[in-house]
Structure 1
Amino acid sequence: MEKALEYGQEEQHSQYHHQQPIPLLTPYKLGNFQLSHRIVLAPLTRQRSYDNVPQPHAKLYYSQRTTKGGLLIAEATVISETARGYESTPGIWTKEQVEAWKPIVDAVHARGGIFFCQIWHVGRVSNYDFQPNGQAPISSTDKLLPTQIQADGVSVHECSPPRRLKIEEIPQIVDDFRLAAINAIEAGFDGVEIHGAHGYIIDQFLKDQINDRTDEYGGKLENRCRFALEIVEAVSTAIGPDRVGIKLSPFDDYNESGDSNPQALGLYMAEALNKYGILYCHMVKPRFWEKADYPDESLLPMRKAFKGTFIAGGGYDREDGNEAVAENRADLIAYGRFFLANPDLPKRFELNAPLNEYNRETFYTPDPVAGYTDYPFLDSRPKWLWDQMLRDVTSLKPHFHLPLNISVSLVLLTSEHKGKKFFGSLVALITNLEMGKKMEDGQEKEQSQQPIPLLTPYKLGNFQLFHRIVLAPMARQRSYGNLPQPHAVLYYSQRTSRGGLIITEAAGVSDTSLIG
């Protein structure tokens, strides 16, 4: 990964100096949508949609990762009851689910984002518990998928023996995708991405490691691709091809989905998709640990063959993404884990700033905050940025002396001094400088500041308060089932200062004290 600036390190094109935008931050016209940059939020399963209904906390999650003119692809969203295979994944086959998506989509649009819904059927990656009436999962095959370790490296996924779809049943699955696409548009999404990757139902038809059919949906390559292309045609006809994308992973063998000739498979699909004029093809390159087997150019034939927008994903970092765009190997780059852990990823890439590390243990936990909406923004001012800002402030006036014993939350105002333009619009931060001396016109002037009355100490009975500012009790209505939730830990700790008084929200004393 490209190395970020160390503390205090200078380079010719510092993040505080004007420079040409990196390739990832150049604009792009995606059909009818004008993108301001080429960094895409990849679809990421988070398993926080209880009972398959999107929850209010997803509104914050997606809006945190929204930039004006940025493209977001929602997490994989199941299209029907038979499509389920994991706990708490969102759906889009019922009216309740459609209505639940609307405020989430509205939040993304309010921030100027473009939002696509990834529509998904897991096929054999399921078990009896997820299926209506406890029936067998459906697939192209009746071959059992062995127990799988999930992407967090910890969770396991137990599957039940699948049932091979009959030819006459296949049109119903195609229609489920069509109806899901219509529902997505009703929910306000700008379009849909058909999930044809990672060993789920479409991939179960595409890949010859899984597909052992001998009918018109199996055997030779064009037969194995028939199901995917029928779905593309149905969805495009329903909502318009300019609102349709598809995700494919010809090189991937996740969920035992390998293919004997992934290059031929990817190229055939890329060429065949041109018939339908869909908006984009999102294709996953081999993971970075497989680069020795498949060079970074492995997707290039597919990129050249497909006439629409080509999105590449799978293990890209900042440097790889910039190179792929600069060398015209992709139009857009999808980022998953990096975007999960860095809600302001485009800004961090712009500044070449350090990235938060992602925590695999919270990828799929049900907590609505931890590992979901609590990853810090760059505006949290990590040490490297504080150090740089302090140096910039002291450089404004060489006669402005700050002794070593300062305690600082410095005020930095948007400014231009002697031609030096400061980072963005540096926001004014609260000042509390224990300044020793200020040198002005060669004269030393002692300076002292008395604390404002609100910041004077106070003895509250047995408690020593350091200031007189109190957090008032405020009802927040986020204690589901009348039980305080884990996200309250973050909320109250954010508002805690040493020696500060906090009064919690109103807490009911009995069953009769509740109002809702």
Structure 2
Amino acid sequence: MTTAFDPVDLAGTPLANRIAMAPMTRSRANPDGHTATGSMVEYYAQRASAGLIVSEGIQPSVVGQGYPGTPGLHSREQVASWRGVTDAVHAKGGRIVAQIMHAGRIGHPDVWPGQDLRSVAPSAVTPAGQLYTAQGMKDFVAPHELTGDEVLATVDDYVAASRNAIEAGFDGVELHGANGYLIHQFIAANTNLRTDEWGGSIEKRNRFAVEVARAVAAEIGGARTGIRLSPGNPYNDIAETDVEETYTALVDALEPLGLGFLHVVEMVPGFRDVTLELRKRYTGTFVLNPATEGPTDHRALGLIEDGTADVLAFGQLFLANPDLPARLKAEGPYNEADKATFFAPGDEGYIDYPTL
């Protein structure tokens, strides 16, 4: 019987176990240049016992940034700074991929002080709610609707950032197609009102995700490219009514690209049947983050044993427990995550969680 503590081959990259650290925004990047810091090096190195680390979301361009304090992979300084992180993880025997995250309409002009910039999206639909900025909470503003040429240029941004990730020493990339950010905004009908080749039917709404994955795989290799999806997730004012039809069609379109992995996050209960259908259709490594569908500690490890997933990803539990694989094997105890320090500057609640 396969267990979570058995090794697995991730499209040519050997993983020591089947426990992954899920991507989590922590907003600790250097505010001057959005580079990785020494504390970020320590944070990821502490968690290198994961079979695979998926980094926090990293913006592929200036306008791709959604929140203060998030890092980039679009400048030479940023690439050099990430080398410290990847070297530290590899020195401890770990593997790490960079999550490339374009926030799309989830942003605010105050995120880019002194620059005449506005968030971009498939359509000029303002999200409900507010965003944290250095000046406090602000209402979202209407994004700029990408032109056809700008859509293609944005695909190129993903490609350039992925190339930079490999140069920085990452073992691959994960394209963030979940949680209401740009790729998800193209997929969802309430955020994509286009009538050109990038919107309308399910196939056309899925096209941006497929073309980004195709272009990145052509640049760095399909084996080093993964994608994260969150079927039915309403986060960031997303509304999806045709969930199974949309995501089965999307996975069918991604399947021929030979991607290294598909990462599904269950952000709302009730979509396990969709997860299982996607698992059946996808022949590569299937990573599952069962964030709400059942237990999310050692009791979830049976999902490896019964074949639901090849790799299990943990978020908050890994944030608070840097030695999580050892704790899962021992069935606890677990540190409690301090939500007040999730996005706060400084090392408290970041690199000071104790190990067993």
- TM-score class normalised by the smaller sequence: over 0.9
Structure-1-length-normalised TM-score: 0.65
Which residue pairs with 2:17 in the alignment?
A: 37
SS in 2 for 1:97: helix
Which residue pairs with 1:398 in the alignment?
A: none
**Residues 23 and 122 (structure 1 numbering): CA distance in 2 closer, same or farther, change over 3 Å?**
same
Aligned-partner residue type, residue 200 of structure 1: Y
1:372 and 2:350 matched:
yes
Aligned-partner residue type, residue 341 of structure 1: A
* Alpha-carbon separation, structure 2, partners of 1:81 and 1:353: 41
Q: CA deviation at 1:216?
A: 1.1
SS in 1 for 2:197: coil
* Alpha-carbon separation, structure 2, partners of 1:255 and 1:78: 17
1:300 corresponds, among 276, 300, 310, to 276
For the 8 Å contact 1:285–1:314, the answer to whether it is kept is yes
Which residue pairs with 1:207 in the alignment?
A: 188
Query: How far does the alpha carbon of each residue in 1:68-112 deviate from its partner, in whole angstroms, 9 at most, with x for none?
Result: x72111110011011011011010100000001101110000001
Q: CA deviation at 1:143?
A: 1.0
1:49 and 2:29 matched:
yes
Unaligned runs of 5+ in 2: none
Q: CA deviation at 1:118?
A: 0.3
Which residue pairs with 2:203 in the alignment?
A: 222
Q: CA deviation at 1:274?
A: 1.1
* Alpha-carbon separation, structure 2, partners of 1:156 and 1:71: 34
Q: CA deviation at 1:149?
A: 7.1
- Within 5 Å, which residues of 2 pair with 1:130-209? 130-131=111-112, 133-148=115-130, 156=137, 158-209=139-190
Q: CA deviation at 1:286?
A: 3.7
Q: CA deviation at 1:201?
A: 0.6
Query: How far does the alpha carbon of each residue in 1:249-271 deviate from its partner, in whole angstroms, 9 at most, with x for none?
Result: 12211001121111112211111
1:309 and 2:291 matched:
no
Aligned-partner residue type, residue 36 of structure 2: P
* Alpha-carbon separation, structure 2, partners of 1:157 and 1:120: 21
Aligned-partner residue type, residue 328 of structure 1: G
2:342 corresponds, among 363, 370, 378, to 363
* Alpha-carbon separation, structure 1, partners of 2:26 and 2:54: 13
* Alpha-carbon separation, structure 2, partners of 1:245 and 1:156: 33
- Within 5 Å, which residues of 2 pair with 1:436-455? none
Unaligned runs of 5+ in 1: 1-19, 379-516
Which residue pairs with 2:303 in the alignment?
A: 324
**Residues 320 and 259 (structure 1 numbering): CA distance in 2 closer, same or farther, change over 3 Å?**
farther
- Within 5 Å, which residues of 2 pair with 1:72-471? 72-131=53-112, 133-148=115-130, 156=137, 158-287=139-268, 290=269, 294=270, 296-315=272-291, 316-367=295-346, 369-378=347-356
Aligned-partner residue type, residue 139 of structure 1: A
Runs ≥4 in structure 1, deviation > 6 angstroms? Answer: none
Aligned-partner residue type, residue 303 of structure 2: A
* Alpha-carbon separation, structure 2, partners of 1:277 and 1:114: 20
* Alpha-carbon separation, structure 2, partners of 1:329 and 1:305: 12
* Alpha-carbon separation, structure 1, partners of 2:69 and 2:288: 28
* Alpha-carbon separation, structure 2, partners of 1:172 and 1:87: 24
Greater relative contact order (CA < 8 Å, ≥ 6 in sequence)? 2
* Alpha-carbon separation, structure 2, partners of 1:346 and 1:361: 25
Query: How far does the alpha carbon of each residue in 1:260-287 deviate from its partner, in whole angstroms, 9 at most, with x for none?
Result: 1111122111111111101001011243
For the 8 Å contact 2:298–2:329, the answer to whether it is kept is no
* Alpha-carbon separation, structure 2, partners of 1:124 and 1:35: 35
For the 8 Å contact 1:143–1:161, the answer to whether it is kept is yes
- Give me the CA root mean square deviation: 1.7
Which residue pairs with 1:62 in the alignment?
A: 44
Q: Aligned pairs, how many?
A: 347
The percent identity for this pair of structures is: 37
SS in 2 for 1:333: strand
Which residue pairs with 2:3 in the alignment?
A: 23
For the 8 Å contact 1:126–1:158, the answer to whether it is kept is no
For the 8 Å contact 1:40–1:73, the answer to whether it is kept is yes
Query: How far does the alpha carbon of each residue in 1:411-456 deviate from its partner, in whole angstroms, 9 at most, with x for none?
Result: xxxxxxxxxxxxxxxxxxxxxxxxxxxxxxxxxxxxxxxxxxxxxx
* Alpha-carbon separation, structure 1, partners of 2:277 and 2:138: 34
SS in 1 for 2:288: strand
